[in-house]
Amino acid sequence: MSASVSPLAPTDVPDMPAIAGVKLATAAAGIRYKGRTDVLLAVMDKGTAVAGVFTKSKCPSAPVEWCRAKLGRGARALVVNSGNANAFTGKTGRQATALTASIAAKAVGCSANEVFLASTGVIGEPLDATKFDGVLATLAETAAPDEWMAAATAIMTTDTFPKVATATVKLGKTKVTINGMAKGAGMIAPDMATMLSFVFTDAPLSSAVLQSLLKSGVEDTFNAITIDSDTSTSDTLLAFATGAAADDGAPKISRASDPRLKAFAKAFQDVLANLAEQVARDGEGARKLVEVIVEGATTKNSARKIAMSIANSPLVKTAIAGEDANWGRVVMAVGKAGEPANRDKLSISFNGIRVAKSGARDPSYNEAEVSEVMKNPKIQIKVALGLGKGRDRVLTCDLTKEYVAINGDYRS
């Protein structure tokens, strides 16, 4: 965890309401550091549906493999630890997940198959799951409905602030709640998920409906952010629906096409988008939030690839850090993306000021004017390709000396 909070941290942190059927507790288990809160236990009521999306890394962590194998069943517990990713740990890693799930199952009073796991931290070091023994039993006894901020803090690694979001929406005529938390500040180039993120609702949704909401929800949220182009081994996004709102009259939803789901789906997406932006704001060493918009592409998919090429370019990101509207680096990133582009139709703007038009510097370019807007904490880079109707948007941040400092001694 960094010493100073990112200057891009949200100024308004929401009050996180309780969600019927969910209780949370945190503790310091000494996974990597002594005295640091590093384990979260979420306990869910019987009948809780679960869905998940995970990293597409070919070297996934043991907890990712564990969760993938357990989807489609109910969920009673979630155990998250920070400090050790339990990734690239071979047979001992798989044994650690099994032992953790067994300890949690005993503490909660459920089957190990109803326990979901996530780990974040250093890759390649064995996780001593015996450290959970006793700790999880205590957490199960003390778990409470209002520990959301403590939970979001417990899962942090190099994050500088806990990331939470909430929404209230009607399902049928009944008010339901959606709460989410996320962690992530580096090794961020999500592919079907975020680093670690957990969303809870009291809405009575089937696992299939929840899975559908997740799969579509990540596409323009967590899959549209990048800090450093590096997809983690541990990316996990899990959603839990306790169904408790059915007692208050909320309709049970078993089909993703159910028209009653429309308002809920939007609120669910808004929570994911809020969390994803917070991750981008907390990029390691970040001082600028960068929004990249590409329009006029041949397709949305093509626009996404070009936008990611710009957002992942170290040269673009360091120029932003230096408050330099270097459109030449943007041109470079567009050109190398491997997508249709016509140099002579290209226009580029920074924070609404056009600096390049029709493949050359804009005739009205004013260095002083552009330099002034580059001082803003949020920078928008807009690229117009002039080829079609494809448009997309991704979020990233600048690349500073602090990023190198944080990652140069990450394991020490």
Note the pLDDT tens digit of each residue in 276-312: 999 999 999 999 999 999 999 999 999 999 999 999 9
Band (3; pLDDT cuts 50, 70, 90): low
Check if the beta carbon of residue 202 is closer than 8 Å to that of residue 244: yes
Q: Determine the pLDDT at residue 194.
A: 73
pLDDT at 2 over 70: no
Q: Residue 187's pLDDT is what?
A: 87
> Would you say 102 is a known binding-site residue?
no
170 is in an annotated binding site: no
Q: Which DSSP helix (H) or strand (E) runs through 179? A: strand 174-183
* Nearest in space to 122 (alpha carbons), one of 153, 150, 158, 98: 158
Residue 45 pLDDT more than 90? yes
Q: What does the buried/exposed string (b/e) look like for 268-295 if buried means 16 or more CB atoms within 10 Å of the residue's CB?
A: bbbbbbbbbbbbbbbbbbbbbbbbbbbb
β-strands 378-384, 236-241: how paired?
unpaired
Give the separation between CA 330 and CA 392, rounded to whole angstroms. 16
Establish whether 367 is an annotated binding residue. no
194 is catalytic: yes
- Is residue 222 within 8 A of residue 194, CB to CB? The reply is yes
The tens digit of pLDDT for each residue in 8-33 reads 999 999 999 999 999 999 999 999 98
**Residue 89 among known ligand-binding residues:** no
Report the C-alpha gap between 410 and 412 in whole angstroms.
6
Structure tokens of 41? 């236990």
Residues 69-96 pLDDT 10s: 999 889 999 999 999 999 999 999 999 9
Tens-digit pLDDT profile for residues 125-177: 999 999 999 999 999 999 999 999 999 999 998 999 999 999 999 999 999 99
The mean of the pLDDT values for the chain is 96
Domains and CATH numbers, the chain: 22-281 (3.60.70.12), 289-408 (3.10.20.340)
pLDDT of 104 reads: 98
Q: In the chain, pLDDT over 70 holds for what percent of residues?
A: 99
**Of 49, 236, 23, 235, which Cα lies nearest the Cα of 148?**
23
Give the mean pLDDT of 235-250: 98
Each residue's pLDDT tens digit, 181-214? 999 998 889 887 778 999 999 999 999 999 999 9
Bridge partners of residue 380, in order along the sequence: 291
The stretch 375-393 carries a mean pLDDT of 98
Q: What is the pLDDT of residue 178?
A: 98
Catalytic option among 194, 201, 233, 236: 194
d(CA 363, CA 373): 18
407 appears as a binding residue in the annotation? yes
- Annotated binding-site residue? 142: no
Residues 204, 206: Cα–Cα separation, whole Å? 7
Q: How far apart are CA 194 and CA 197, in angstroms?
A: 6
Tokens coding 350 = 């920074």
330-334: average pLDDT: 98
Q: What element of type H or E holds 146?
A: none
**Rounded distance, CA 245 to CA 251, Å?**
8
pLDDT band at 1 (very low <50, low <70, confident <90, very high): very low
